[in-house]
Amino acid sequence: MTATLETPTALSDVDAAVTLSGVRKVFGHGPAGVVALDGVDLTVAPGEFVCLLGASGCGKSTLLNLVAGLDAPTSGRIELTTSRPAVMFQEAALMPWLTAARNVELPLRLAGVKRGARREKASELLSLVRLVGAGHKRPHELSGGMRQRVALARALASTLGAAEEGTPGLLLMDEPFAALDAITRDVLQAELVRVWRETSTAIVFVTHDVREAVRLGQRVVLLSSRPGRVVREWSTVDCDEPVVIDEITTHLREVISGHAAA
Amino acid sequence: MPQLDTDLSAVGAGLDALDAPSQEQRPSLWKRFVRTTVPPLIAFALLLGAWQALWALAFWPEYQLPSPGSVWAAVAEAVETGRAFEVLWTSVSRAVLGFLTAVVIATPLGLLIAKVRVVRAAIGSLLTGLQSLPSVAWVPAGILWFGATPSTIYFVVLMGSVPSIANGLVSGVDQIPPLLPRVGQALGAGRMAAARHILLPAALPGYLAGLKQGWAFSWRSLMAAEIIATSPQLGEGLGQYLHNGSALNDISMVIAAIFLILLVGVGIELLVFRPLERAVLRARGLTGAL
């Protein structure tokens, strides 16, 4: 493993928000080590909405952690041209001692933004996720869907708030709607697409739900399991949704049943 | 891709209205007062009645079981002569000063133990052990090292309260959901910023419990030190007052001293720690125990 180990750096390559080349991640050492990702090449264009799809054990979350800079790849390169990426998890993970507005302000506060500007940005983002008037509420006073929207506003604050004007943002989402009920999930998916259009942020969205992936993404990337590799990609712009869903589902099943023998 | 038509946003607004947890109505001030004040008053009155009855039955001689009236007279006399306030002030100021010093020492110590593995392995169990060591055990050593001076008193108070406060903070940090520090990292918090904005506030309930216990330990350590270490140099605190009562074979004075010691303990709990704890837990939606 001689490849360069680089932390995400801005490059002149402007037509890609994220570039992964030959990314490999091994947990543990020697023969006992588990290869989570192997030779992953992936490019996300600025403002693109990409869905990563795969069964459990395909290293989706590992991949997100690497792009977010929470973990370093064993080998390979990850290049970002965006501002600092923001991560959203399956749980909203709001700070329970802060109000909704203060939660949104937190990343700005950590970035040293002045109080007045912070307040203004937070209320702007809260109205973007349709939570005007809920800013003074504590997380326990909000429903699951509302909490996840506060988390979305906080993620946007984290990637857009402290960056220079014009720097594109990057949102990494790790099955953010998996814990919500079907109706709420439906509404939040639509909200996310609306917010994405309004903010022109690039989104990498991890899910194991084919329908969700096809519905949200402009591009669906299927990953294999153990080790995770890119198997195939589908563009979902102007496609026949049911046909693509069927095709991807068949493919996903093949990938999963390939593990039965092993 | 879905279009967000007005229908769906209306559905979203409806969901928000339906799913948001309903706000419980806080009962009125009067009701809360009745609920929290009346039961302890009744318990106190019953206790007093039982005491009076036992005294009236005269099972024990007067010098062992005084009447509530004579204890009250001892308290009233101490209050009238102003002695009660001097004694209370001496002890409470010592306890508060000792407690605040303990907080200053124990907070960084607790953070170190919680976050640095080597430190935890080295002194974590020692600290827990110290917590179970009665701080009275330090009084003889303190007298040998510092003489019968205030230093001995403060030494004993610190040995009593520092372990509780540090341990409270450690368990507070241990109970933080692991996702929160990760979110902090993802939001760009460095080590110091994470401690200030995520670790400490997240550990606050445990820390507060530690502070509460630390106060109780500093108060009882102080009493132990004052009862054992008496000298003119030390002035008269509650502990000395109790000691004097015992020396004079004045059971009314002894019970009066115990009453005053309890009064301070209950008073600080009700005036300082209960409201603090309530405010912290309520803000986090942890209202079950309140």
Bridge-based pairing state of the strands A170-174 and A230-235: unpaired
CB contact under 8 A, A190 and B202: no
Average pLDDT along chain B: 86
Query: Distance from CA of residue B107 to its chain's centroid?
Result: 16
pLDDT tens by residue, B32-49: 888 888 888 999 999 999
For the segment B138-167, the average pLDDT, to the nearest whole number, is: 90
pLDDT at A3: 42
If one counts every other C-beta atom within 10 angstroms of the C-beta of residue B19, the result is 16
Is residue B290's pLDDT more than 70? Answer: no
Query: Which among A89, A110, A154 has CB closest to B193?
Result: A110
Show residues of chain A in contact with B192, CB under 8 Å: none
List, for chain A, all residue ranges whose pLDDT scores fall below the cut of 70: 1-14, 57-58, 161-166, 259-262
pLDDT at A1: 36
CB contact under 8 A, A183 and B15: yes
Q: Reduced to 3 states, what is the DSSP secondary structure of residue A206?
A: strand
pLDDT at B45: 93
pLDDT at A57: 65
- Greater confidence, A240 or B68? B68
For the segment B127-146, the average pLDDT, to the nearest whole number, is: 88
Show residues of chain B in contact with A158, CB under 8 Å: 186-188
Q: Reduced to 3 states, what is the DSSP secondary structure of residue B5?
A: coil
For the segment B276-286, the average pLDDT, to the nearest whole number, is: 85
- Greater confidence, A33 or B179? B179
Residue B154: band (very low, low, confident or very high) from pLDDT cuts 50, 70, 90 = very high
For the segment B114-138, the average pLDDT, to the nearest whole number, is: 87
Sequence-distant (6+) residues with CB within 8 A of A118 are: A105, A108, A109
CB contact under 8 A, B4 and A194: yes
- H helices of B67-198, in order, are 68-80, 83-115, 117-132, 138-146, 150-174, 179-186, 191-194
Q: What are phi and psi of B250, to 5 degrees?
A: -105, 95
Q: Reduced to 3 states, what is the DSSP secondary structure of residue A223?
A: strand
Tokens standing for residue B75: 């308290």
Q: What are phi and psi of B149, to 5 degrees?
A: -120, 170
The answer to whether the complex's ipTM is over 0.90 is no
Sequence-distant (6+) residues with CB within 8 A of B84 are: B75, B78, B260
Name the closest residue on chain A to residue B187, using Cα atoms. A107
Sequence-distant (6+) residues with CB within 8 A of A56 are: A208, A225
Show residues of chain B in contact with A142, CB under 8 Å: 20-21
Tokens standing for residue B160: 């009593």
Q: What are phi and psi of A97, to 5 degrees?
A: -90, -5
- Greater confidence, B12 or B40? B40
pLDDT at A250: 82
Which helix (DSSP H) or strand (DSSP E) does residue B263 occupy? Answer: helix B251-268
pLDDT at A164: 63
Query: Distance from CA of residue A27 to its chain's centroid?
Result: 22
pLDDT at B161: 92
CB contact under 8 A, B197 and A109: yes
Q: Using N-to-C axis directions, what is the helix angle for B83-115 and B117-132, rounded to 10°?
A: 150
CB–CB of A148/A188 below 8 Å? yes
- CA B113/CA B166 separation, integer angstroms: 8
pLDDT at B96: 93
CB contact under 8 A, B186 and A68: yes
pLDDT at A180: 81
If one counts every other C-beta atom within 10 angstroms of the C-beta of residue B51, the result is 16
Is residue B22's pLDDT more than 80? Answer: no
Show residues of chain B in contact with A141, CB under 8 Å: 20-21, 23, 285
Show residues of chain A in contact with B1, CB under 8 Å: 193, 215-216, 236
For the segment B231-235, the average pLDDT, to the nearest whole number, is: 77
pLDDT tens by residue, A100-122: 899 998 888 888 888 888 888 88
Bridge-based pairing state of the strands A219-223 and A170-174: unpaired
Is residue B165's pLDDT more than 90? Answer: yes
